[in-house]
Amino acid sequence: MKKRSNIAVMARLIGLVKPLTGYMILAIIMGLIGHLCAAFITIFGGFAILQIIGIPVEWKLWTIFLSMGIFAILRGILRYAEQFCNHFIAFKLLALIRDQVFQALRKLCPAKLESKDKGNLISVITSDIELLEVFYAHTISPIVIAVLFTIAMCVFIGQYHVILACVALAAYITVGLIVPVIVSKCSGNSGIKLRTQSGELSTYVLESLRGLSEIMQYNQGNNRIAHLNQMTDELSTEEEQMKRITGRNMAVTNLLILLFDIAMLFTSAYLFHTGEIEFEGIIISVLGLMSSFGPVVALANLGSTLQNTFAAGNRVLDILEESPVTEEITGKPEITFTGAKAENVSFSYEDELILDQVSLEIPRNKIVGIVGKSGSGKSTFLKLLMRFWNIDSGILNISDISVNQINTTNLRDLEGYMTQETHLFHDSIRNNLRIAKLDATEEEIVAACKKASVHDFIMSLPEGYDSQIGELGSTVSGGEKQRLGLARMFLHNAPLVLLDEPTSNLDSLNEAVILKSLKEDTQGRTVVMVSHRESTMRIADQVYSMNELSKSGRVS
């Protein structure tokens, strides 16, 4: 995780408000007027008391009570309007941030995401982004409102005596600035630790759910539960510590408010005693201070909660500012597929050399097979053709143009890639297939499924193509899942098809049907197929063998 100061995180998060600046200004104005109305209800009550006890003031009694009524009504309306604006801004920005995060994840995938904990990512996308609602709805405008409100009240109280204004200013600064800064420092890295532990817990729960059958099979349930309880206890301890800090913060804040109210009372009484102010100055200045701590108390309460919010913001910014391994390419001329070629291609995962000086040619309208031991780089080569990673050295061309010079969308349109594991979403079979082609007709979907030898299975289901697939494809077998993946590939109808173990989960009969479809479908289509099965490679026009971990690492 990149280390950023709280100020840097705040500045970056505030920058995201730019599209909604008008709403933010409106919220600040309404909030400021609303807080002034709330404070002046009490202040005008003081004027009324002075009028009743016979001390003349410039306000008539009926005017004072009418004003208090108007202030009360305005306070309610403006408070609602301010909160409406703030929450509109917050939820609108959360939607924009989610959109930006998913765009960032798309750019980072798969190279930067393969090593990341999926549970941690889910925690960032859900709970961490939700926590930013506190910042946008209850932080930005309250800070500005508190500053403007402080200036207004100091000017009002200062009209009786400058010393009284100084007491009020000291009170506002102490409660609204010094206290939250001290509390924030006392919280230390608690917020980051809490968010990190929450993400780790999400990862552990997700792994346990996915591996539930293995956990039961090997009787590891008690061990997993024990570790889950341990992680939960550690998270609870961290959260308890933060709640304790919050409680102390509130206690200290309320104590300081009481002390400053007393200080204002004694200061104004002293000034009255020395003849520097009238009795009105005592009543109004004390009531003015007592009724005006609302905005700065809101800031004081942020001291502990902001640590959690900044930690969440830091984790979200980590994703937004992460640099992808391969940048999106745009603005290049569109191309058509005429063949592919690799010359002396080398590639490493970090410090591990996978491909070293690999060269091969993929002619148009041919089926090219790649075989080799596990770990020899067969699947990696297909991912390099998809440009999921950049090659370290050498030349990798499609249609005699480097893959680094082809528009990303154009490249993905030219290629249909089926991985070893087909991912199915919790949706209907039809919608799962249409991922490959959103505007596919019913006839195209059926034709693709027949080529993949899965149409009969689908029609045997009660709802046919509208049948729902369970989460992660849990309601279909491995072979059915693989055939649905092949149907997607046929539906995508790309001129270059990359298949990674396309028949590994199929029986001989289905394998034969699919291989026959592939062989017949090569008119206008090129197939690159990785497989350990000799039977699969019988349809290949040319087979390359990749030697595992050989010094040269060449395809021979």
In the chain, the domains with their CATH numbers are 6-195+238-320 (1.20.1560.10), 340-546 (3.40.50.300)
The answer to whether residues 94 and 312 touch, using CB atoms and an 8 Å cutoff, is no
508-520 vs 478-492: helix axis angle to the nearest 10?
10
Tell me the CA distances in angstroms from 408 to 121, 332, 413, 493, one per residue in order: 25, 9, 9, 17
pLDDT of res. 471: 67
422, 423, 425, 430 alpha-carbon torsion, rounded to 10°: -30
Half-sphere exposure of 377 (CA within 13 A, CB side): 28
SS3 of 550, please? Answer: coil
Determine which helix (DSSP H) or strand (DSSP E) holds 132, and give its type and residue range. Answer: helix 129-138
Report pLDDT for 554.
44
The kind and range of the H/E element at 401 are strand 401-402
User: How many Cβ atoms from other residues are within 10 Å of residue 299's Cβ?
Assistant: 22
For the purposes of burial, counting CB atoms within 10 Å of the CB of 357, is it exposed (0-12), middle (13-18) or buried (19 or more)? middle
Task: Report the pLDDT averaged over residues 241-253.
Answer: 82
What DSSP line would sit under 240-294, residue for residue? HHHHHHHHHHHHHHHHHHHHHHHHHHHHHHHHHHTTSS-HHHHHHHHHHHHT--H
Can you tell me the distance from the alpha carbon of 292 to that of 283, in angstroms, rounded to the nearest whole number? 14
Phi, psi of 535 (to 5 degrees): -65, -35
Assigned token pair, 451: 């080529």
* Residue-averaged pLDDT of the chain: 84
Helix axes 302-320, 129-138, angle to 10 degrees: 130
Which residue from 393, 410, 192, 409 is spatially nearest to 310, judged by alpha carbons?
Answer: 192
Q: At what angle do helices 279-290 and 21-52 cross, to 10 degrees?
A: 140
Give which of 253, 217, 211, 189 is closest to 119, Cα–Cα.
211
CA atoms within 13 A on the CB side of 482: 18
> In sequence order, what are the beta bridge partners of 543?
369
- Cα separation, 465 vs 442, in Å, equals 10
Cα–Cα distance, 234 to 121 (Å, whole number): 20
d(CA 345, CA 330) in angstroms, rounded, equals 24
Sheet with 526-530: list strands edge to edge: 415-418, 496-500, 526-530, 367-372, 542-546
Query: Which residue, among 479, 553, 490, has the nearest Cα to 527 in the 3D structure?
Result: 490
Q: What is the pLDDT of residue 550?
A: 41
CA angle 210, 388, 432 (to 5 degrees): 50
Length in residues, the chain? 556
| pLDDT of 555 above 60 | no
Q: Return the structure tokens found at 267.
A: 């200061």
Tokens representing residue 204 in the block: 């552990």
Whole-structure pTM value: 0.67
Question: What's the pLDDT at 19?
Answer: 82
Q: Is the pLDDT of residue 549 over 50?
A: no
> In this predicted structure, what is the pLDDT of residue 551?
43
Q: State percent of the chain over pLDDT 70.
A: 93
Confidence of residue 523 (pLDDT cuts 50, 70, 90): low
pLDDT at 376 over 80: no
CA–CA separation, 181 and 175 (whole Å): 10
pLDDT in tens, 334-366: 999 999 998 888 888 877 888 888 888 899 888
Task: Find the mean pLDDT for residues 152-169.
Answer: 94
**DSSP states of 296-348:** HHHHHTHHHHHHHHHHHHHHHHHHHTPPPSS----SSPP-----EEEEEEEEE
Q: What is the pLDDT of residues 53-101, one digit of tens each?
A: 888 877 788 888 999 999 999 999 999 998 888 888 888 888 888 888 8
Q: Helix 221-273 to helix 279-290 angle, to the nearest 10 degrees?
A: 170
Omega within 30 of 0 (cis) for the link into 110: yes
Stretch (H or E) spanning 542: strand 542-546
Residue 111 has pLDDT above 80, yes or no: no
**Are 89 and 20 a contacting pair, CB within 8 Å?**
yes
Q: Which residues contact 450 (CB under 8 A, 6 or more apart)?
A: none
- For position 3, what pLDDT does the model report? 63
pLDDT at 32 over 90: yes
* Cβ(326)–Cβ(13) below 8 Å: no
Q: Where are the beta strands (DSSP E) in 17-140?
A: none
Please determine, for residue 553, whether its predicted confidence score (pLDDT) is greater than 60.
no
Q: How far is CA 452 from the centre of its chain?
A: 37
Amino acid at the residue 510: N
pLDDT given for residue 237 in this prediction: 85
Local structure of residue 397 (DSSP, 8 states): E
Average pLDDT rounded to a whole number, residues 286-304: 83
If phi > 0 it is left, if psi is from -120 to 50 it is alpha, else beta; for residue 227 that is alpha
Which residues lie across from 347 on neighbouring strands?
355
